[in-house]
Amino acid sequence: MLYSVRMRSAQGGAHEAGGRHISGAERLVPEQHIERIAGEMVARALSHSRGSADFINITIDKVRTDELCTVPLLTVKTVDVPHAEAGRKAAMAALVQTGVSEQAVQAGMEALLALPDSMRGAMLLCAETGKRLDGTGQSGVRVSRMDIADDQDYRQCLENLGLTNVHVREALVLASKVAAAPGVVAELCWSDDPEYTAGYIASANGYCRFTQLKSYGSPVGGRVFFIRPGIDLEALIAYLRRQPVIVTVK
Ligand code: AMP
């Protein structure tokens, strides 16, 4: 039996009371690991590089086994770029290759660059027009209830790729769930950790990291999901928020 353990933390009060988002985390774990994982999440919320949280919400609920679905881990490629501007240019070209229109790629990049501060979730943009589709304003759509099938395997797989940081560990699981969603064409992301400048684009064809997508020291990060027009948006958002997904290493 698995439990969804998720954390969101903010500074200056709860998110819903206008607090500034500090960090979040999502795991699916067996009962015997709940305490340890929840403890690690609290420690992280209290010592995040974006600041110390004064509001921490941990939610734990049981996931029905018959609800679980599995998706494959995306393949990973890293592209070295000399600076953030070059990284963003390369990421934009790669997004067009996935089938997102140039107009939508431009809109997605501008939406991320214009963020006054990090959101808690992602913006959903039409992959053709670039128009924002979700009605969630500054909070965004948070992807939840996902984890890797086997931690040890995953660690080994990432080590073989020379990737050991927690950002990639978490982002690759999230991106694998998102890329498998009905109607998602691609994702663009960079972290809100001021010390972490790498970012990625992902699609069903793989996860492509760019060593620099934002400048060092910036506490603003975000995610954009590019959505095929005409799909059932409500069903997609329900999948992203609530469908429990286990990601398997091939
Ligand atoms: P991170 O990769 O954790 O540094 O997050 C970068 C940005 O991605 C955050 O500021 C959020 O806007 C967004 N984000 C983080 N976690 C999620 C999630 N579980 N679902 C949707 N968006 C997220």
CB 182 within 8 A of CB 235: yes
pTM: 0.96
Q: What number of H helices and E strands is found in the chain?
A: 6, 12
Residue 248 is which amino acid? T
* Residue 169 in contact with ligand 1 by CB distance below 6 A: no
Are the C-beta atoms of residues 87 and 210 closer than 8 Å to each other? Answer: yes
Give yes or no for a contact between 223 and 188, defined as CB atoms under 8 angstroms apart: yes
pLDDT tens string 133-166 = 999 998 999 999 999 999 999 999 999 999 988 8
Rounded (5°) CA angle 196-24-80? 25
Is 155 close to ligand 1, i.e. is its CB under 6 Å away?
A: no
CA of 222 to the centre of ligand 1 (A): 6
Distance from C-alpha of 96 to C-alpha of 101, rounded to nearest angstrom: 6
Alpha-helical regions (H) of 98-232? 102-113, 151-160, 166-179
Residue range 74-80: mean pLDDT, rounded: 97
Structure tokens at 187: 């994702």
Question: What pLDDT is attached to residue 50?
Answer: 85
pLDDT in tens, 1-40: 999 999 999 999 999 898 999 999 999 999 999 999 999 9
Closest atom, ligand 1, to C-alpha of 191: 4
Asked if residue 222 has its Cβ within 6 Å of ligand 1, the reply is yes
Q: What confidence tens digit (pLDDT) does each residue in 43-54 have?
A: 999 988 888 899
Which tens digits make up the pLDDT trace of 210-219? Answer: 999 999 999 9
Through-space distance between the first and last CA atoms of the chain, rounded to whole angstroms: 23
Place of tokens 């909070």: 139
Strand partners, 202: 187, 207
- Output the residue whose Cα is nearest ligand 1's atom 6: 191
68 in helix, strand or coil?
coil
Cβ–ligand 1 contact at 26 (below 6 Å): yes
The predicted pLDDT at position 178 comes to 98
Mean pLDDT of the chain: 95
CB half-sphere exposure, 164, CA atoms < 13 A: 3
- Asked if the model's pLDDT at residue 250 lies above 90, the reply is no
How far, rounded to the nearest angstrom, does the alpha carbon of residue 220 sit from its chain's CA centroid? 14
Q: What are phi and psi of 11, to 5 degrees?
A: -120, 135
Cβ(178)–Cβ(187) under 8 Å? yes
Query: pLDDT tens, 101-115?
Result: 999 999 999 999 999
Environment class of residue 234 by beta-carbon count within 10 Å: exposed (0-12), middle (13-18) or buried (19+)?
exposed
Give me ligand 1 centre to Cα 172, in Å: 12
Domain ranges of the chain: 2-66, 70-248
Per DSSP, 166 falls in state H
Say yes or no: CB of residue 171 within 6 Å of ligand 1: yes
3-state class (DSSP) for residue 60: strand
